[in-house]
Amino acid sequence: MPVLRNLDLVLLALALVVFLVAGLPVMGWVTAVVIWALWRGIGMWSERRAEAAATPKETAGWAAGSMVGRGWLLGLILLGSGLAMGEDVGLSAAVLVFIVFTVYFTLKILLRSAGPQPPVTT
């Protein structure tokens, strides 16, 4: 299971080869890696904060705030990189982040549903 949990990172490493072979801008790959490192880092930090929260309201606040904040951060970095370094850099980074996010999110849902479930109380 550890390989599946980190398949997004394996995908980023393989993407470097694709970028080099296809002649895509390497700065697009670098931008995507920076965005993804921030996404994962902030996500891990906020998950720890949510788990340590005292109330369900606080847990939901950390989870929702983290997701919204990371989405805005991702979008602003992509926009800034596209404006600063060119459309090809921004577009290649956006496509790579989209692919990596899709794999990460899908596997996170599948692995969570396949894990041990808490008992249901009525």
Q: Write the pLDDT tens digit of every residue in 1-22.
A: 677 888 999 999 999 999 999 9
The burial of 85, by beta-carbon neighbours within 10 Å (0-12 exposed, 13-18 middle, 19 or more buried), is given as middle
Over residues 22-67, the pLDDT tens digits come to 999 999 999 999 999 999 999 999 999 999 999 999 999 998 999 8
Asked if residue 80 has pLDDT above 80, the reply is yes
Res 115: pLDDT: 66
The distance from CA 79 to its chain's CA centroid, rounded to whole angstroms, is 17
What is the pLDDT of the chain when averaged over all its residues? 90
Residue type for 116, please? P
What ranges do the domains of the chain cover? 2-110
